[in-house]
Amino acid sequence: MMGKADNKRAWPVLEWHQWRDTAETLHMMTQIVGKTRLALTPLRNHWWNVPLYVTARGLSTSVMPLPDGELFEIEFDFQDHLLHFRHSAKRQAALPLHAQSVAEFYAQYRRALISLGVPSVIKTLPVECPDPIHFDVDTTHRSYDPDAVHRFWRVLGLAETVFKSFSGNFYGKISPVHFFWGSFDLAVTRFNGLRAPPRPGADPIQAEAYSHVCISAGFWPGNGGYGRAAFYCYAAPVPPGLGDKPLSSLGGFDARMGEFLLDYSDVQRAPDPAATVITFLKATYSACADAAGWDRAVLDRIDVGAAEPAS
Q: Would you list the domain boundaries of the chain?
A: 16-137, 146-299
Q: Is the pLDDT of residue 304 over 70?
A: no
Query: Residue 120's pLDDT is what?
Result: 85
pLDDT at res. 307:
46
Question: Which has more confidence, 14 or 7?
Answer: 14
Across the range 252-262, mean pLDDT stands at 94
Give how far the C-alpha of residue 76 lies from the chain's centroid of Cα atoms, to the nearest Å: 14
Query: 262 with 277: CB under 8 angstroms?
Result: yes
With a cut of 50, say whether residue 275 has pLDDT above it: yes
CA 70 to CA 173: how far, in whole Å? 31
pLDDT, tens digit (0-9, with 9 covering 90-100), for 73-117? 999 999 999 999 999 998 899 999 999 999 999 999 999 999 999
Could you say which DSSP state residue 278 is in? Answer: H
Judge if pTM exceeds 0.85.
Answer: yes
Please state, in angstroms and rounded to a whole number, the distance separating the CA atoms of residues 197 and 183: 23
Give the number of other CB atoms < 10 A from CB of residue 223. Answer: 19
User: Tell me, what amino acid is at 44?
Assistant: R
Cα separation, 174 vs 251, in Å, equals 24
CA 24 distance to own-chain centroid? 15
Report the distance separating Cα 285 and Cα 42, nearest Å. 31
The angle at the Cα of 34, spanning 21 to 43, to the nearest 5 degrees, equals 145
- Give percent of the chain with pLDDT exceeding 70: 94
Helix axes 16-40, 102-115, angle to 10 degrees: 30
Residue-wise pLDDT tens digits, 104-155: 999 999 999 999 999 989 999 999 999 999 999 999 999 999 999 999 999 9
Contact 40, 34 (CB under 8 A): no
Q: What is the pLDDT of residue 1?
A: 33
For 54, list phi and psi in degrees, rounded to 5.
-65, 135
Q: What is the largest CA-CA distance in the chain?
A: 57
Q: Report the pLDDT averaged over residues 201-206.
A: 85
